[in-house]
Chain A
Amino acid sequence: MSAVTIKDLAVRLDGTEILHNVDCQVADGGWLALIGPNGAGKTTLLRAVAGLLPYRGKVLLGDTELRAVNARARLIAYVPQEPVLPPDMTVHEYVLLGRTPYVSYLGGPGRTDRAAAALAIQRLSIDEFADRRLASLSGGERKRAVLARALAQEPDVLMLDEPTASLDIGHQQQVLDLVDELRQTSGLTVLSTLHDLTTAGQYASHLVLLHEGRIEASGSARAVLTEERIARVYAAHVEVRTDAAGTIVTPVRKNQ
Chain B
Amino acid sequence: MLVSALLGAADLNPLATVTALADRIPFVHLPSRLSSLDRAVLFQIRLPRIVLGAMVGGLLSVAGAGYQGVFRNPLVDSGMLGASAGAGLGATIAIAYLGSLGTAAVPVAAFAGSLAGVAVAYLSGALGRPGRPGRPGRSSGPGGSGSGTATLLLAGVAVSMFLTAMQTYVQQRATADLQQVYSWLLGSLSGATWQDALEILPYSAVSVAIVLLHGRQLDVLSVGDEEARTLGIHPGRTRLIVVAACALAAASAVAVSGLIGFVGIVVPHIVRRLAGTTSYRVVLPLSLLAGAGFLVLADTLARTVLSPAELPIGVVTALVGSPVFVWVLRSTRAIRT
Contact = CB atoms under 8 A, between A and B. Distances in A.
Interface of A: 13-14, 43-44, 47, 50-53, 69-70, 72-74, 76-78, 80-89, 93, 97-98, 100-101, 103, 105-108, 135, 153, 161
B229 A52 contact: yes
B201 interface: no
Of B214, B216, B278, B279, most A-chain CB atoms within 10 Å = B216
B231 A98 contact: yes
B308 interface: no
Interface stretch (B37-45, B114-122, B220-228): B220-228
B277 interface: yes
Contacts of A161: 137
Contact of B133 (A14, A87, A88): A14
Nearest to A159: B230
Contacts of B132: 14
Q: Which of A80, A83, A98 has the most CB of B within 10 A?
A: A80
B144 A51 contact: no
Contacts of B229: 51-52, 69
Contacts of A69: 229, 232-234
Given A14-B133, A97-B219, A101-B232, A87 B336 contact: yes
A83 B133 contact: no
A84 B232 contact: no
A32 B300 CA distance: 67
Contacts of A98: 231
A70 B232 contact: yes
Given A69-B234, A88-B277, A93-B279, A80 B137 contact: yes
A101 B231 contact: yes
| Size range of the chain B interface in the assembly | 20 to 34
Interface in B97-140: 132-133, 136-137, 140
The SS class assigned to the B binding surface is loop
Interface string B294-337: 00000000000000000000000000000000000000000111
B282 to A, nearest CB: 11
Nearest to B222: A86
Given A53-B133, A84-B227, A108 B281 contact: yes
A153 B133 contact: no
B232 A82 contact: no
B143 interface: yes
Contacts of B220: 97, 100
A14 B131 CA distance: 10
B34 interface: no
B7 interface: no
A83 B336 contact: no
A97 B336 contact: no
A103 B136 contact: no
B225 to A, nearest CB: 9
B279 A89 contact: yes
A44 B232 contact: no
A107 B278 CA distance: 19
B6 interface: no
Interface string B270-290: 000000011101000000000
28 contacts: A13-B133, A43-B136, A44-B136, A51-B229, A52-B226, A69-B229, A69-B233, A72-B232, A73-B230, A74-B232, A81-B137, A82-B137, A83-B223, A83-B227, A84-B222, A84-B224, A84-B227, A85-B223, A86-B222, A86-B278, A88-B337, A89-B222, A89-B278, A100-B233, A105-B217, A106-B214, A108-B216, A135-B336
A80 B337 CA distance: 21
Contacts of A72: 230, 232
Residue picked from B142, B231, B279, most chain A C-beta under 10 Å: B231
Contact of A100 (B133, B224, B232): B232
A150 to B, nearest CB: 9
B51 interface: no
Contacts of B232: 69-70, 72-74, 100-101
Contacts of A82: 137, 142
